[in-house]
């Protein structure tokens, strides 16, 4: 009996979406051939969709085994044409076709979730998930009970806010309750499901039809005929709206007369709750459909249930009795057999047919006893479910009360905070008022101050103008100074060279016996000339550096050659007993720099070492730093040394630690300034204790 009812439910669902057609098979086959020919000539996917949809409607009668593959083709074509509605409809159709195949249902669900966000996507996802809810009906009692408890817990305590999510959850609850109990509990949750469906947009036909077909049968099983009739009336309205919608879309082969026949027949099965007028109306409608629709006529021929219900409603027992006999003896007699036996016993009692009563009473009593036992078990299960729901509700109420208490505590805290905020705000307003009065007084004071500032600003502008003029004059003076020093250097160098040359000429023209004596004086003259020239050049270089006229001409330079040349230039100035040497730590060191300026720096440092080294050695070393990025050149002497506290002082302009020493104190200053212009630096090594050691650091690149 259970398996029979399950078969009926499945076929009712299928009939709701796969309509029958009034045309005979030959006519439909001809239309299908025409549509296939037109489909071959379709230019775009958009042109093909309607042709393929009409073929789908025809194949639901002619070739139902090809519906799944055709639905797949329509879905892919709709995606290519960006027709989301048609694509979603085909996913629902495939879900209907493969009702008992969960792997295909999961695949359809995954495809539905890839659709663009909108009503079609939400409706299709909910439809497939509701179809999957029916796959749990074959679970064993223990597993189903556990599943139902989980669903009720989620619905009672964690109900989703989205209407489609809530719809799927509530439908799953109804499906699992219907398998366990057909009583008031099921009716209560079905009523909630119906109310939830009423909240959906009017054109969401698939979800309403999916529930209403099975819902009407569940209401009948739960002895709720009036609700079953009302639900079937809504189903008829949905069918009419859906057929009108497809007709407007250009799909005339989508006919729902066979579905209407089944609905009217089911409504007639509740004849005890119908008025005579309703009985006649529903019966006449069923008969009209039987006469005009081939599929309805085939159903009526195999199972004339409308005649049985009409005869029983009109108490025409003589007419009803043979029809019930025919139904019970046929292959369709297993469906609703208990109800049919009950009606046959009623006919036999009213017609005083004792033989028939004796024949069917025992079977009816057995079926009735089985039905009562089943209802008793269902009632027990229903009570268990009600108890679980009650416990959940109690838990929910407890959580709700705790939440209310928590919110109350939060409200009190917020109130206290608000009061404190108001007090602070009032205090702030008072403070602002005082500040405003103070600000007005300050504004008046500021106005007077602004006037004084405007006068002062005018004075400052005048001073600025005077400073600019003074700066320009200073720059002109600096330029004149540089030009003067350059001119003086040239004017002094020429006589000095002449004095030196005349000294050598006197030596050459004198007698040979006087040469040693005169050469000594000639060397003194050369030395003093060089000293004067060096002083003049230092002043000139410093002036050039200050005026930013020094130019650098960098190129790849061998540092060994520069160091050797500097040593050669200064070596003849060293006193007797002083040795100047150059030590290189590597074979060759090439750096990118201005070789003339590097040599100038080394000559300046070596000249300083020669001045303050009466005897001993002056050593020049060159090596690469550990990271290879810098060249380090050190000039160490064994002279009088420099105190560590004077390490920076000696690089200042015109500084001479020994006032009696030659020079004006610019050599080290110029050398450091040139080193920094080359990207390096010149420092005094204060850790050296045997004299003085200067360290020149230059970048390799």
Nearest 5°: phi and psi at 578?
-110, 125
End-to-end Cα separation, the chain, in angstroms: 98
* CB-CB contact of 176 with 144 (8 Å): yes
Mean pLDDT by 10 residues, the chain (701 residues): 35 36 66 84 83 86 85 90 91 89 91 92 91 77 76 79 88 79 76 86 84 81 85 88 85 85 91 91 92 85 88 90 81 69 87 84 78 62 60 67 80 86 89 86 82 83 82 67 62 66 67 63 60 61 64 84 87 85 77 87 87 89 86 90 84 70 70 87 89 91 75
3-state secondary structure 458-518: HHHHHHHHHHHHHHHHHHHHHHHHHHHHHHHHHHHHHHHHHHHHHHHHHHHHCCHHHHHHH
Nearest 5°: phi and psi at 581?
-140, 160
Alpha-carbon distance of 218 to 212, in angstroms, equals 10
**How many other C-beta atoms lie within 10 A of the C-beta of residue 554?**
13
- The three-point CA angle 325-9-58 to 5° equals 100
Question: Which residues on adjacent β-strands are paired with residue 633?
Answer: 622, 696
pLDDT for residue 469: 80
Q: Would you call 481 exposed, middle or buried from its count of C-beta atoms within 10 A (0-12, 13-18, 19+)?
A: middle
DSSP codes joined into one string, 260-305: HHHHHHHHHTTGGGS-HHHHHHHHHHHHHHHHH-HHHHHHHHH--H
- The three-point CA angle 321-226-323 to 5° equals 10
Nearest 5°: phi and psi at 592?
-100, 100
pTM for this predicted structure: 0.51
Sequence-distant (6+) residues with CB within 8 A of 528 are none
pLDDT for residue 286: 92
**Nearest CA to 207 among 393, 337, 386, 17?**
17
Alpha-carbon distance of 137 to 641, in angstroms, equals 106
Q: Which two tokens stand for residue 327?
A: 């139904």
DSSP-based three-state secondary structure for 640? coil
- Conformation bin of residue 699: beta by default, left when phi > 0, alpha when psi is -120 to 50: beta
3-state secondary structure 327-386: HHHCCCCCCCHHHHHHHHHHHHHHCCCHHHHHHHHHHHHHHHHHHHHHHHHHHHHHHHHH
pLDDT for residue 636: 93
* CB-CB contact of 92 with 115 (8 Å): no
pLDDT for residue 19: 40
* CB-CB contact of 71 with 94 (8 Å): yes
3-state secondary structure 295-316: HHHHHHHHCCHHHHHHHHHCCC
**Nearest CA to 109 among 147, 135, 82, 143?**
135
Q: What is the CATH number of domain 551-699?
A: 3.30.565.10
pLDDT for residue 420: 87
Alpha-carbon distance of 695 to 699, in angstroms, equals 13
Long-range (24+ apart) CB contacts under 8 A made by 441-444 are: none
* CB-CB contact of 207 with 188 (8 Å): no
pLDDT for residue 24: 59
**Nearest CA to 184 among 5, 4, 385?**
385
Q: Which two tokens stand for residue 572?
A: 């003849």
**Nearest CA to 89 among 252, 256, 255, 242?**
242
Long-range (24+ apart) CB contacts under 8 A made by 4-7 are: 4/334, 4/335, 5/217, 5/335, 6/137
pLDDT for residue 693: 92
Alpha-carbon distance of 598 to 698, in angstroms, equals 9
Q: Directed axis angle between helix 667-677 and helix 595-611, to 10°?
A: 150
pLDDT for residue 276: 92
The residue count for the chain: 701
Q: Which two tokens stand for residue 320?
A: 């009803």
Q: Where are the domains of the chain?
A: 551-699
Q: Which two tokens stand for residue 69?
A: 């593959």
Helix (H) or strand (E) holding 455: helix 354-509
Nearest 5°: phi and psi at 551?
-110, 145
* CB-CB contact of 684 with 650 (8 Å): yes
- The three-point CA angle 645-604-534 to 5° equals 120
Longest CA–CA span in the chain (Å) reads 183
Alpha-carbon distance of 631 to 698, in angstroms, equals 5
* CB-CB contact of 607 with 637 (8 Å): no
pLDDT for residue 125: 92
Q: Which two tokens stand for residue 461?
A: 């502008």
State the residue for tokens 């928590």: 406
**Nearest CA to 219 among 208, 235, 231?**
231
State the residue for tokens 């050599």: 667
DSSP codes joined into one string, 562-615: HHHHHHHHHHTTSPTTEEEEEEESSS--EEEE-HHHHHHHHHHHHHHHHHT-SS
In angstroms, the Cα distances linking 250 to 23, 42, 49, 348, 680 are 17, 16, 11, 53, 89
Alpha-carbon distance of 270 to 279, in angstroms, equals 9
Nearest 5°: phi and psi at 640?
-75, -15
* CB-CB contact of 221 with 174 (8 Å): no
Bridge pairing between strands 692-699 and 630-637: antiparallel
In angstroms, the Cα distances linking 26 to 30, 238, 296, 450 are 6, 30, 18, 105
* CB-CB contact of 325 with 344 (8 Å): yes
Q: Which two tokens stand for residue 217?
A: 């049968």
Question: Which residues on adjacent β-strands are paired with residue 689?
Answer: none
pLDDT for residue 177: 78
**Nearest CA to 696 among 548, 593, 574, 555?**
593
pLDDT for residue 5: 37
């Amino acid at each position: 009996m259970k398996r029979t009812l399950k078969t009926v439910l499945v076929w009712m669902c299928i009939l709701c979406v796969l309509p029958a057609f009034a045309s005979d098979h030959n006519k439909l086959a001809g239309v299908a051939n025409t549509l296939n020919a037109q489909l071959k000539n379709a230019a775009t996917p958009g042109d093909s969709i309607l042709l393929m949809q009409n073929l789908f409607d025809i194949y639901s009668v002619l070739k139902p085994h090809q519906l799944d593959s055709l639905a797949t083709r329509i879905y892919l074509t709709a995606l290519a044409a960006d027709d989301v509605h048609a694509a979603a409809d085909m996913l629902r159709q495939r879900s209907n076709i493969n009702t008992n195949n969960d792997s295909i249902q999961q695949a359809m669900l995954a495809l539905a979730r890839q659709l663009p966000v909108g009503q079609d996507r939400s409706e299709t996802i909910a439809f497939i998930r509701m179809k999957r809810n029916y796959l749990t009906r074959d679970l064993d009692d223990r597993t189903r009970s556990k599943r139902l408890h989980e669903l009720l817990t989620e619905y009672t305590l964690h109900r989703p806010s989205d209407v489609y999510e809530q719809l799927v959850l509530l439908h799953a609850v109804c499906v699992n309750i219907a398998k366990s109990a057909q009583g008031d509990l099921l009716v209560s949750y079905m009523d909630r499901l119906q109310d939830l469906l009423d909240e959906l947009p009017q054109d969401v036909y698939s979800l309403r039809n999916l529930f209403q077909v099975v819902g009407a049968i569940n209401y009948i099983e739960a002895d709720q005929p009036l609700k079953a009739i009302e639900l079937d009336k809504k189903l008829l309205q949905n069918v009419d709206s859906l057929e009108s919608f497809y007709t407007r879309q250009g799909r005339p082969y989508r006919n729902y007369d066979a579905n209407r026949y089944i609905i009217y027949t089911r409504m007639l099965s509740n004849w005890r709750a119908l008025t005579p007028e309703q009985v006649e109306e529903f019966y006449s409608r069923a008969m009209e459909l039987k006469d005009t629709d081939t599929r309805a006529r085939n159903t009526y021929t195999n199972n004339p249930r409308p005649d049985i219900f009409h005869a029983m409603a009109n108490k025409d027992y003589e007419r009803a009795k043979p029809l019930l006999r025919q139904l019970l003896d046929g292959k369709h007699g297993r469906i609703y057999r208990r109800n049919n036996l009950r009606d046959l016993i009623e006919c036999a009692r009213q017609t005083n047919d004792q033989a028939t009563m004796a024949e069917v009473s025992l079977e009816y009593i057995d079926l009735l006893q089985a039905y009562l036992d089943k209802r008793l078990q269902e009632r027990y299960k229903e009570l268990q479910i009600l108890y679980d729901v009650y416990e959940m509700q109690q838990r929910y109420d407890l959580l709700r009360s705790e939440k209310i208490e928590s919110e109350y505590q939060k409200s009190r805290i917020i109130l206290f905070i608000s009061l404190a905020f108001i007090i602070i705000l009032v205090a702030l307003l008072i403070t602002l008022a005082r500040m405003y009065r103070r600000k007005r007084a300050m504004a008046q004071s500021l106005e007077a101050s602004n006037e004084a500032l405007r006068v002062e600003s005018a004075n400052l502008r005048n001073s600025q103008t005077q400073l600019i003029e003074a700066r320009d004059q200073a720059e002109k003076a600096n330029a004149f100074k540089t030009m003067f020093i350059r001119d003086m250097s040239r004017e002094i160098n020429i006589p000095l060279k002449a004095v030196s040359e005349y000294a050598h000429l006197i030596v050459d023209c004198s007698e040979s016996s006087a040469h040693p004596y005169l050469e000594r004086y000639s060397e003194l003259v050369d030395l003093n000339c060089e000293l004067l020239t060096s002083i003049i050049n230092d002043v000139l270089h410093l002036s050039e550096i200050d005026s930013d006229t020094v130019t650098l001409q960098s190129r790849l330079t061998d540092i060994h050659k520069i160091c050797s040349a500097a040593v050669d230039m200064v070596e003849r100035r060293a006193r007797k007993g002083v040795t100047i040497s150059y030590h290189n730590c590597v074979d060759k060191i090439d750096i990118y720099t201005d070789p003339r300026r590097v040599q100038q720096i080394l000559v300046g440092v070596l000249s300083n070492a020669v001045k303050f080294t009466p005897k001993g050695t002056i050593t020049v070393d060159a090596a690469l730093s550990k990271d290879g990025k810098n060249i380090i050149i050190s000039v160490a002497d064994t002279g009088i040394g420099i105190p560590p506290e004077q390490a920076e002082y000696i690089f200042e302009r015109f500084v001479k630690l020994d006032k009696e020493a030659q020079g004006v104190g610019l050599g080290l200053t110029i050398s450091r300034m040139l080193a920094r212009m080359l990207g390096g630096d010149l420092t005094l090594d204060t850790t050296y204790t045997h004299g003085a050691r200067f360290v020149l650091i230059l970048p390799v690149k």
